[in-house]
Every structure is written in C-alpha cells, then in structure tokens.
Structure 1
Amino acid sequence: MSDPVQFWKDCSAEFASSARAPNSFFVRRAALVAELVSRHLSSGRMLDIGCGTGQLCLELASRGFDVHGADLSSLQIEIAIQAARGMLDSPEERFQVCTPDSLPFEGAFDLIAAIGVLPYVQDQPAFIQRTLSLLKPNGMFVASCTNPASLFTLVTVTRHILSFRPKRAWVSTLRNLVRTGLSRGSCVDVRAARQCRSASALDELCRQLGLTIEGELDLYNVDWGFLDEFPFERRRFGRLLSRHFGWSHIGAYRVGSGASQSRASGGR
C-alpha cells in the first residue's frame, strides 16, 4: 500500500486539469450529484471529503448550502479557493487541506459527500463509520464507488490492449484497470482492502451501518453521450442496466429510522 498523501501529490496536477476541463465527466458528475442531493435535501451545512477542485461544493453553494471542502491535495485546495472567490465568503476557511485520519472542521453537518473517494480508502467500513459520527441526526451521506466490471472498464481495457506497448507502464495500467476500474489503480492494497466494488455492496454496507437508502445515480462514463444524457429519466430496465454496468455508482443515504427507503426519485 502506498502513501495516499504522496499518491495524490504525484497525480493531483493531472487530475485537477482533467476535472475542470469543459465537458469533463467529473464536472458533469458533480452537477448530477448536486441534483440528486437537492431532490432529498434543500439546504444545510455540507462537507465534501475529497473535494478536489471544488466542483460539487460550488454546485451546492449555488443551491443554498453552507459548503466546506477538504482534500489531501494542497494544489487542488488552492484551485478550489480561487474558483470560489467572488462566489463564497471566506473561501480560505471553507476549503482546507486534510490528512487521511483527520478533518480541519468542527461541528456536525447536515450533509457529507465522499464522491470518488472510496476507491482510494483501504478500509471503507471504518472510513464510513468515522464519517457518520460527523453527521447530525437525520443527516445525509452521499458516496460513490467504482465498478471494475463496468462497460467503461471493458471499453477502456479493449482500447488499451489494442494499443499494446511492451513496457512496464502499459502492463501496470492494464492490471489497474482490471483490478479496480481505474487506470492508475489506487493507493491501497487491493488484496487486503475492505472495499465495496459494486452498487449492491455499497448499499449493503450502508444498511449494516444503520443508514437507509434515499436515492441513487449510476453513470457509465463512456464517450457515447446518449448513455448518461438523462440519467434521472431512465425507466426500470435502464436503471437496472446502469446499476450493473455503470462505472460510477452514487448512493444517497440517510441517518435515522425516519428516513424514507423509497427509490422513486433518482432511485431504482
């Protein structure tokens, strides 16, 4: 297992560039996650763990949320601060660097998001339990997991094989894609990791931790635009396909026994 801080230091510039590119999957995903959240929560104090360059925070701030973001990458936090200038008050206080084991904010939150974070967490049950301790009663937790058996992985692996190069980097990328669905792999030991690698696995873990399912969203992330064009308008069969063959599954979960388990809005 590699050092997660060093991992993100090494790849943060590349990720920050792709994440803020026009029509980037990550920009679109942030907007869709904000829509998913808004269907179940109108406002409140929000924390985005692994906020990156701040796209989700800015999306939710425009919808009335009191946003805060934390990330291991100082470069991405600086970009988030610059992006928030003129839109949010005191962006330096709202976006701060964290460590793998601690967050720079105090108090409880109505909403905590961890989008694109879980694939880089060695022990996901422990991480989610720590996160839930920061939520208010009846608060919401929104997280995503990556499906290695997705259409995106199949397409990307096929293209990678067709571009064969007898180099170690080529072999490493292929191994990472097959194991994790990520071209870079991650900073975890996948053989020993306690991770959810499917929508069903993430749902089951969250149920075991006392959460109820509010809604969900599945994105393919392939360059066939029609697949992800209107994800909230999929019919039952389309939702079933995207749940099993989509690359990024986002679940919205509620703390407390009063939470609705209906999936009518943005769900299955």
Structure 2
Amino acid sequence: MTAWDGEQGAFWVKWADRFDAGVEAYRERFLAAAAIESTSAVLDVGCGTGQMTREAAKAGGRALGVDLSSPMIELARDRARAVPNAEFLQADAQIHPFPEASFDRVISRHGAMFFGDAEAAFANLARALRPGGRMVLLSWQPGDRNEWASTFRRIFTANAEVPATPPAPGTLADPAATRGLLESAGFTDVRVSAVAEPMFFGRDVEDAAEFIEAQFGWMARDLSEEDGARVPGVLRADMAGHLSEGGVRYPSAAWLVEASR
C-alpha cells in the first residue's frame, strides 16, 4: 500500500493519460463484457485515476471507484466533476466492509492483479455483489506473451536471463488457477477468454522512450557503465521498428475474466 500511496501512485498520476491511452484498444470489449445497464450499481476495483469508473457511471446508475492510492483518487475525483454519479474512495478492496449485496457489477481493468491476499479479496467482492450480479476483470497474460514487457525487460537488463516462474494465482495470469480462485470465493460460470490488442506507448520514438525510461529505467541500475550506455540507443532502435502512423505500438495479450454471483 505504501508504494501505491507514494512514489508509484505519483508516477501513475503524472502519466495518467498515457496509461489510459496505452490500453485504449481493450476498452470497448471490456465495457461490452461488463454490460452495464442504466440502473446498475458498479464497483470499480483498483480504479486508478478513474477512467473506467467514469465510463461505468455514464452508462449506469452509479459507480464507486476504489484504490489504495490517494494521489490517484484525488485526480480521479477532479476528473469526474462533471460525472455526479461517479464516486471515489481510498480503500483496500481486500478488506473494506462494502455493504453486502450492494453492487450489480464489479469491474477491474488491470487492478485486481495486485491483491496480497487474493482469496480474501475475491470473497469480499463476492459478498458485495448482489445475486445475479457479474464481475468482469482484465488481467495480463504471462510476460512471454506480451512482447512489450519481454522486450523492455530484455533491453533494460542487457539481455539478462530472467528465470521463468509459474504465475501466482492472485496475478490472474493462469486461467485454471483463476477459475479455481474465483469458484472458491463463491463465483459461478467463470469464463476466461484470451484477448490481444496493440498497446500504445507514444506518439513517436522520443515520446515513447521518455515514458518507458521513466517506467523501466530502474531495471538498468545494476548494469555496468558500458551496458547502461547502450540502453537508450537499443531502446530507440527497437521502438523505431514498432512505429507506425498510430505511434509506437507493441503487441499485448490479456485475459478477459467474467464470472457470476
């Protein structure tokens, strides 16, 4: 919680528009799966700076976005001034005492992958859903299926070998583990669908490189001076190969998780 409420949260606030633009290609399918109705009460978990909460509020009756980060919640509130039925709360969705059976939808765009205690978190969310309610999540597939993640990790570690480890259940990266986790929490009809979209990183190479260096630069701290000096050039060369009229884009892959209560 400390990181999200500190430097990491501040970083996401600084680059809020870029993070939203990065996954924009997933928005339409994610919202279609959520099927928010005009009377829906929606809980957006790990709402960040609130884009999906605002979208849910515009489609439904009311939407509550929760996040650990006070800087992100502050920006979310500021951006939702014209959306009166969107509310925001700094809270830990794992343990927050949401009123029982008070939401028709629980949604989370890449926010439900970070639970420290996933079993407790999803049990809490199941209690918050009304009978017949639905939960829709978007989570990343493993890194080796996301070219952007594997490429940037390779560049900033100078091709260091990173041992492959099985994805933990709470990361939602493994479909079988995700189904078991959600079913044990009280969800039914759990479906996990593979989705793939290009991910946006910047208008041009320099714009994208500035963003990625700010996000991944810490990985290069232990490199030798010689290897570290190569990183900027290697990064820009790779991005140049992914530049098109739509900016710098890399393939990405996610899981669309749907479940009922």
Structure 2 length normalisation: TM-score?
0.66
Residue aligning to 1:36: 33
- What is the SS of the residue equivalent to 1:21? helix
Assess if the C-alpha contact under 8 Å between 1:33 and 1:56 holds in 2. Answer: no
Q: Does 1:97 pair with 2:82?
A: no
Quickly say closer, same or farther: Cα 1:164–1:18, change in 2 above 3 A. Answer: same
Q: Deviation per CA, 1:21-75: give whole Å up to 9, x if none.
A: 387124443443222212x756411111111111111111221341111111111
* Greater mean alpha carbon deviation, residues 132-141 or residues 96-105: 96-105
Q: Which amino acid letter does the alignment assign opposite residue 256 of structure 2?
A: I
Aligned pairs for 1:63-82 (under 5 A) are 63-82=59-78
Query: Which amino acid is the alignment partner of residue 249 of structure 1?
Result: W
Q: Which secondary structure does the structure 1 equivalent of 2:130 belong to? A: strand
Amino acid in structure 2 at the alignment position of 1:158: T
CA distance in 2, matches of 1:43, 1:131: 19
Distance 1:67 1:41, change over 3 A: same
1:156 alignment partner, one of 145, 149, 155: 149
Is the counterpart of residue 20 in structure 1 residue 21 in structure 2? Answer: no
**TM-aligned CA distance change 1:225 to 1:55, over 3 Å:** farther
- Aligned residue pairs: how many? 212
Structure 2 vs 1, CA of residues 138 and 214 (structure 1 numbering), >3 Å: closer, same or farther? farther
Rounded Cα–Cα distance in structure 2 between residues aligned with 1:5 and 1:66: 29
CA distance in 2, matches of 1:123, 1:75: 23
**In terms of Rg, which structure is larger?**
2
1:235-250 equivalent positions in 2, closer than 5 A: 247-250=253-256
List gaps (5 residues or longer) in structure 1. Answer: 182-189, 227-244, 256-268
**Identity score, percent:** 18
Between the aligned partners of 2:74 and 2:97, the Cα distance in structure 1 is 15
Which residue is equivalent to 2:210? none
Deviations 1:209-243 (A, max 9, x none): 341136746234545799xxxxxxxxxxxxxxxxx
Residue in structure 1 matched with residue 196 of structure 2 by the alignment? 219
Specify the SS of the correspondent of 1:126. helix
Distance (Å, rounded) in 1 between the aligned partners of 2:123 and 2:196:
26
Corresponding position of 2:6: 9
Q: TM-score with structure 1 length normalisation?
A: 0.64
The code of the aligned residue for 1:25 comes to G
Using a 3 Å threshold, how does the CA distance of structure 1 residues 19 and 126 change in structure 2: closer, same or farther? Answer: same
Distance in 2 between residues matched to 1:68 and 1:225, nearest whole Å:
37
1:106 is aligned to 2:99: yes
- What code does the residue aligned with 2:66 have? A
Q: One-letter code of the match for 1:114?
A: S
Query: Which residue in 2 is equivalent to 1:236?
Result: none
Runs of 4+ in 1 over 6 A off after TM superposition: none
Partner of 1:134: 128
Corresponding residue number in structure 1 for 2:248: none
Q: Structure 1 residues 211 and 225 mapped into 2: Cα distance closer, same or farther (>3 Å)? A: farther
8 Å contact kept, 1:19–1:26? no
SS in structure 1 of the partner of residue 49 of structure 2: coil
2: CA distance between counterparts of 1:18 and 1:99? Answer: 23
Helix, strand or coil: the match of 1:6? Answer: coil
